[in-house]
Structure formats: structure tokens, C-alpha cells
């Protein structure tokens, strides 16, 4: 059976990107570090497929952690590219830095900044900055749950339009990580980000991650995320209000 180029492109949109969520999930990128100092991790992936079309995929990510007695630093960057016969079916990336200070055992004060772009969502530039509190609700035998409430400022530039967003938002989230066995864990984070004071224009996202440890450094991961943003779809009819993606991969830690 031969797929025409247009059908091949549609298939890649559904299977490979599945909607391209707009919220970057920082919660599933946190690590439970047990010693002070610097830690790092690199993710790399790529593929080349030739049939009726030439399909190239590439991606990578970098993270750095610094764990101190009271203060913690987290830096993340990520890039994703899918090309079909020289045309971009997916082109996105982001960089994020966050500082957290723990005055008490269950409480943390956090401040962050982020830059992001997504060609298929016509997002030329997104800049975020904010601060708030994070409260630990539960922690026992590798399982944990947290609640966070933050204020953030958001600036968006959209391609092929005169639309600029300068928003003040509340960013609240509930996150948990359950250790199902010695080498299997399940995590979920749900974000609620209303535009202040218009709570009816909220952006909602949920992310679920399943991780299977193969060795001490190598693990298999599967991640499903879904985002709903009614305002972007209202202003840009060609962008869907609800988007989702499903990503499988391997991770090597060092």
C-alpha cells in the first residue's frame, strides 16, 4: 500500500506530534537528588526514513541541576524537528531556568524564566517569568505529591499576524509521582493557568509519564500530554483549542 505525500504528512502529524502541547511540564523533569553538587543529563535521538518521501527526525535536550543545602538551581533546554521531504512538520524548542529556596521542610519559594517557540503553533516567541510557592503534600517510600501556586507574566508573538499577548496569569498545579515497583514509576501533573482577571480564558494541561528503569543510568519513558487553550483558537481559527502528543524514548543519566 502506497501513501500519497499529503497522507504521509497527515500521518506524521497524528502519530509523531499529536497536537504539540504548549505548556512545558517542569514537574516530570525534577529529580530527587540525595547529595549536594552538580548533576547533568543529555537526551539525543534521530532517525532517517526513505519511502515515497524522505523523513528526518532529530531531537535533543540538556539539563543541569545544582543541589545546595537550601537553594536549588534547575536548567533545561529541548529541541524537536520532524522534516518531510524538506518541509518542517514539527519545529519547536525551549530553555528554562528555575531557582528554588526552601526555608522550611515542606515549603519552597521558586522563581523562574523561560523562552520557547513552536513553528506549527505559529508561536514565534514566548517569554515567561514568575514566582510563587510550592507545598509538599505527601512523601513516603519514593512516592510524593506537591501543590504549587505561582504568578507569572507571559509575552507571546504569533507568526503571520499582528497579535501580541502580554498576560498576567496564575499558574497553579497539582503533581504526584508514584513508585509502582523498584524500577517502574508513574507521574502526573495538571496545570490550571487562568488569565487574570478573566478566569474563563484559562489554559488547562495534564501530563502523564511512565518510566521503566532498565539499568541504573538507562530508562525507557512514555509520555502523554493534553492542553486546552480556548483563547488561541478564538484568535487563530487554524490552531485547534485542544492539542495532545504522545512521546516514547530512552534517557541516559550521568
B/e letters for 46-79, b = 16+ CB within 10 Å, e = fewer, are eeeeeeebebbbebebebebebeeeebebebebe
| Cell 515515497, residue located | 52
The answer to whether 221 and 209 are in contact (CB under 8 A) is yes
The Cα angle at residue 146 between residues 134 and 131, in degrees rounded to 5: 20
How far apart, in whole angstroms, are the C-alpha atoms of residue 252 and residue 43?
7
**Domain annotation covers residue 213:** yes
> Residue 106 belongs to a domain with what CATH number?
2.40.160.40
Q: How many domains does the chain have?
A: 1
How far apart, in whole angstroms, are the C-alpha atoms of residue 46 and residue 153?
34
Residues 144-185 pLDDT 10s: 899 999 999 999 888 887 778 898 999 899 999 988 888 898
Mean pLDDT of 217-241: 82
**Domain annotation covers residue 139:** yes
* 34, pLDDT greater than 70: no
Q: Is-above-0.95 flag for pTM? A: no
How far apart, in whole angstroms, are the C-alpha atoms of residue 7 and residue 162?
32
The number of helices, as runs of H, and strands, as runs of E, in the chain is 2, 12
| Cell 518531510, residue located | 84
**Domain annotation covers residue 28:** no
CA distances from 50 to 47, 56, 84, 139, 215 (A): 10, 9, 10, 49, 33
**Domain annotation covers residue 5:** no
What pLDDT does 22 receive?
Answer: 52
**Domain annotation covers residue 53:** yes
How far apart, in whole angstroms, are the C-alpha atoms of residue 200 and residue 228?
12
Task: Say if strands 107-118 and 242-253 run parallel, antiparallel, or are unpaired.
Answer: unpaired
Domain ranges, residue 249? 41-253
What pLDDT does 3 receive?
Answer: 39
**Domain annotation covers residue 15:** no
**Domain annotation covers residue 67:** yes
**Least confident span in 25-29, 120-124, 177-181, 191-195:** 25-29
What pLDDT does 28 receive?
Answer: 47
The answer to whether 31 and 40 are in contact (CB under 8 A) is no
How far apart, in whole angstroms, are the C-alpha atoms of residue 117 and residue 125?
5
What's the mean per-residue pLDDT of the chain? 81
The answer to whether 96 and 78 are in contact (CB under 8 A) is no
* 18, pLDDT greater than 90: no
How far apart, in whole angstroms, are the C-alpha atoms of residue 8 and residue 210?
29
* 210, pLDDT greater than 80: yes
CA distances from 252 to 47, 79, 204, 248 (A): 18, 17, 31, 14
**Domain annotation covers residue 82:** yes
Mean pLDDT of 224-245: 81
Amino acid at each position: 500500500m502506497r501513501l500519497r505525500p499529503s497522507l504521509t504528512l497527515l500521518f506524521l502529524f497524528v502519530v509523531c506530534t499529536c497536537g504539540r502541547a504548549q505548556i512545558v511540564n517542569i514537574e516530570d523533569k525534577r529529580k530527587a537528588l540525595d547529595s549536594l553538587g552538580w548533576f547533568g543529563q543529555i537526551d539525543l535521538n534521530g532517525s532517517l526514513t526513505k519511502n515515497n518521501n524522505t523523513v528526518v527526525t532529530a531531537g535533543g535536550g540538556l539539563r543541569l541541576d545544582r543541589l545546595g543545602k537550601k537553594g536549588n538551581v534547575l536548567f533545561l533546554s529541548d529541541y524537536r524537528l520532524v522534516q518531510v521531504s524538506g518541509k518542517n512538520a514539527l519545529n519547536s524548542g525551549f530553555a528554562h531556568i528555575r531557582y528554588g529556596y526552601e526555608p522550611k521542610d515542606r515549603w519552597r519559594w521558586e522563581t523562574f524564566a523561560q523562552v520557547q517557540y513552536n513553528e506549527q503553533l505559529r508561536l514565534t516567541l514566548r517569554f515567561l517569568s514568575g514566582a510563587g510557592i510550592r507545598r509538599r503534600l505527601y512523601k513516603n517510600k519514593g512516592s510524593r505529591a506537591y501543590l504549587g501556586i505561582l504568578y507569572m507574566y507571559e509575552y507571546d508573538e504569533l507568526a503571520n499576524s499582528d497579535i501580541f499577548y502580554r498576560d498576567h496569569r496564575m499558574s497553579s498545579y497539582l503533581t504526584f509521582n508514584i513508585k509502582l515497583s523498584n524500577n517502574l514509576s508513574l507521574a502526573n501533573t495538571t496545570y490550571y493557568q487562568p488569565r487574570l482577571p478573566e478566569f474563563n480564558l484559562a489554559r488547562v494541561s495534564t501530563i502523564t509519564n511512565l518510566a521503566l528503569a532498565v539499568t541504573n543510568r538507562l530508562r525507557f519513558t512514555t509520555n502523554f500530554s493534553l492542553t486546552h487553550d480556548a483563547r488561541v483558537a478564538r484568535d487563530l481559527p487554524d490552531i485547534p483549542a485542544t492539542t495532545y502528543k504522545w512521546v516514547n524514548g530512552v534517557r541516559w543519566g550521568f
